[in-house]
C-alpha cells in the first residue's frame, strides 16, 4: 500500500507537521487532504466533527483561541491560499513545554498541514495579501467553553512578524497567559 502522508514531530511533543504526497502533472496537482486510515497510521485517531474556513486580510492575527471541558478541540490546519504563520501555545500544566509556543509558516505551495491536539491555544498571522485557511476540529464550537489568550502577551513573547496587526475587537480584550485556569493537565 502506498503511503500518502508523512509526519514530523514539532519541537513541542504531540504537535505534528503533516506532509502530503502531492501528484503533479501538466494539468496541475492533486492530493488527499484527509484520509482517515492514513491519519490513524500517523497516530491521529480523533474523530473530526466540524470544518472551519476563514478568509483573512494581510496583517490579520487571529487568536490565541482554545476551548475547555468536553468542548476541547484538536485542530488540523491547512492553508488553501496565501501564507500564514501558524502558532500553537502549550497550555498543559505540568508539560515540560508549558508556556512555550511552536510556530511554522504554512502556505498553499508547501502543501503542509499542522496537527494541534487538545491542550494548546491556537492562532495565526497572515503574511500574504490574504489567506484562506481550512481547519478540521475534533469538537463542535461552544461559546460557553471558548477561552483566549491575548496575542501580544509579554510572557509568551510570540514574534508574529507583523508590525501593525489587524485584531478583532474581541481578541483585543483577551486575558493574559498568567490568567489561564488549569483546564489541561499533562
Residues in the chain: 186
Q: What is the mean pLDDT of residues 81-99?
A: 98
pLDDT at position 85:
98
Q: Which residues of 45-79 are buried (b: 16+ CB within 10 A; e: fewer)?
A: ebebeeeeeeebeebbbbbbbbbbeebbbbbbbbb
Q: What is the mean pLDDT of residues 154-162?
A: 97
Residue (of 89, 126, 92, 121) closest to 106 by Cα position: 126
Residue 135 among the catalytic residues: yes
Torsion of CA 113, 57, 72, 77, to 10 degrees: -10
Q: Which residues of 109-124 are buried (b: 16+ CB within 10 A; e: fewer)?
A: eebbbbbbbbbbbbbb
Residue 2 has pLDDT above 80, yes or no: no
> At 148, is the pLDDT very low, low, confident or very high (cuts 50, 70, 90)?
very high
Task: Say if residue 64 is preceded by a cis peptide, omega within 30 of 0.
Answer: yes
Q: 62-78, pLDDT tens digit by residue?
A: 999 999 999 999 999 99
Residue 106 has pLDDT above 60, yes or no: yes
Q: What is the mean pLDDT of residues 10-27?
A: 95
Which residue in the list 66, 101, 135, 151 is annotated as catalytic?
Answer: 135
pLDDT at position 19:
95
Mean pLDDT, all residues of the chain: 96
Which residue in the list 53, 65, 127, 173 is annotated as catalytic?
Answer: 65
Residue 47 has pLDDT above 70, yes or no: yes
What is the strand order of the sheet 83-90 is part of? 101-107, 83-90, 120-126, 61-67, 146-148
Percent of the chain past pLDDT 70, that is, above it, reads 98
pLDDT at position 166:
98
Residue (of 48, 104, 90, 60) closest to 180 by Cα position: 90
Residue 1 has pLDDT above 80, yes or no: no
C-alpha cell at position 155? 510572557
pLDDT at position 4:
75
Residue 127 among the catalytic residues: no
C-alpha distance from residue 112 to each of 17, 96, 104, 108 (Å): 7, 26, 10, 8
Q: What is the mean pLDDT of residues 140-157?
A: 98
Residue 3 has pLDDT above 70, yes or no: no
pLDDT at position 5:
86
List domains and CATH numbers for the chain: 5-179 (2.60.120.10)
Amino acid at each position: 500500500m502506498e503511503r500518502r502522508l508523512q509526519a514530523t514531530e514539532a519541537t513541542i511533543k504531540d504537535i505534528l507537521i503533516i506532509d502530503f504526497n502531492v501528484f503533479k502533472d501538466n494539468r496541475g496537482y492533486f492530493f488527499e487532504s484527509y484520509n482517515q486510515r492514513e491519519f490513524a497510521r500517523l497516530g491521529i485517531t480523533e474523530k473530526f466533527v466540524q470544518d472551519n474556513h476563514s478568509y483573512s486580510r494581510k496583517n490579520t492575527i487571529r487568536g490565541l483561541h482554545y476551548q475547555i471541558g468536553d468542548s476541547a478541540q484538536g485542530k488540523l490546519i491547512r492553508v488553501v491560499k496565501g501564507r500564514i504563520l501558524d502558532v500553537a501555545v502549550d497550555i498543559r500544566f505540568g508539560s515540560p513545554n508549558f508556556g512555550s509556543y511552536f510556530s511554522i509558516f504554512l502556505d498553499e505551495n508547501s502543501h503542509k498541514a499542522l496537527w494541534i491536539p487538545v491542550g494548546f491555544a491556537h492562532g495565526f498571522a497572515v503574511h500574504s495579501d490574504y489567506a484562506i485557511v481550512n481547519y478540521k476540529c475534533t469538537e463542535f464550537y461552544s461559546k460557553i467553553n471558548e477561552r483566549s489568550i491575548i496575542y501580544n502577551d509579554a510572557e509568551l513573547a510570540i514574534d508574529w512578524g507583523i508590525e501593525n496587526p489587524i485584531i478583532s475587537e474581541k481578541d483585543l480584550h483577551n486575558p493574559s497567559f498568567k490568567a489561564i485556569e488549569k483546564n489541561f493537565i499533562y
